[in-house]
Amino acid sequence: MTTLIVIAKECLPGKVKTRLHPPLSLDQAAELAAASLDDTLEAVAVLPATRRVLAFDGDVAPDAAAGYDVVPQVTGGLDERLGAIFDGCSEPAVLIGMDTPQVAAADLAPLFADWPDDVDAWFGPAADGGFWALALRNPDGDLIRGVPMSESFTGDHQLARLRDAGLRVRLLPTLTDVDHIEDAHHVAAVAPHGRFAAVLAGFGVSRRNGAER
């Protein structure tokens, strides 16, 4: 029995993926963010979660989140918001973000089978030094609150917090979080058949300098 949580925000221009502007316009960045979220939700649709939660910052949840319990995020920093999400879980819980649309169900499948007796947590590092997934056998928000977020050392700090608490942690594959246009092109190359890749290709923006092709 495992709960799946996807943390996301409404994909409005100027509110999401603003570091993609330029070279993308704010409207394009929001469209690409929406594609990222849709690909993420599609990838995890086959996983046998006992409950699905969309921890959502916004007013209108995407159509792809049908069947999810849509729960508003609390106010505060990201560490506080993540902590509150885990505090609301009473069974093993897996949390992923919306910014790694190359994620595949196979990456997360072991978390939805019987956990090995020697695993208390799963941790998915991101290439930028953060993390894209965190799963806890016994959810406890205090394992996250106080961890500095959105830093190059966030992942190391979070992993150390888990291990310092005595948790036995197993690592998931490293994925790329889409923050910059280079990240977007890398993810599209890794997952060329998703909506994300198709939307990015339609913009005709180059990998490095943002010049139109």
48-79: per-residue pLDDT in tens? 999 999 999 999 999 999 999 999 999 999 99
Q: Report the DSSP pairing between strands 131-136 and 93-96.
A: antiparallel
Contact 102, 191 (CB under 8 A): yes
27-54: per-residue pLDDT in tens? 999 999 999 999 999 999 999 999 999 9
> Tell me, what DSSP letter sits at residue 12?
-
Q: What are the start-end ranges of the H helices in 59-193?
A: 78-87, 105-108, 154-164, 181-190
Question: What share of the chain has pLDDT > 70, as a percent?
Answer: 97
Q: pLDDT at residue 212 above 60?
A: no
Strands (E), 19-166: 51-57, 69-72, 93-96, 121-125, 131-136
Q: Which CATH superfamily is domain 3-203 in?
A: Spore Coat Polysaccharide Biosynthesis Protein SpsA; Chain A (3.90.550.10)
Calpha distance 85→101 (Å, rounded): 21
Calpha distance 149→185 (Å, rounded): 24
**Does pTM top 0.75 for this prediction?**
yes
> Per DSSP, what are the bridge partners of residue 212?
205
**Structural domain spans, the chain:** 3-203
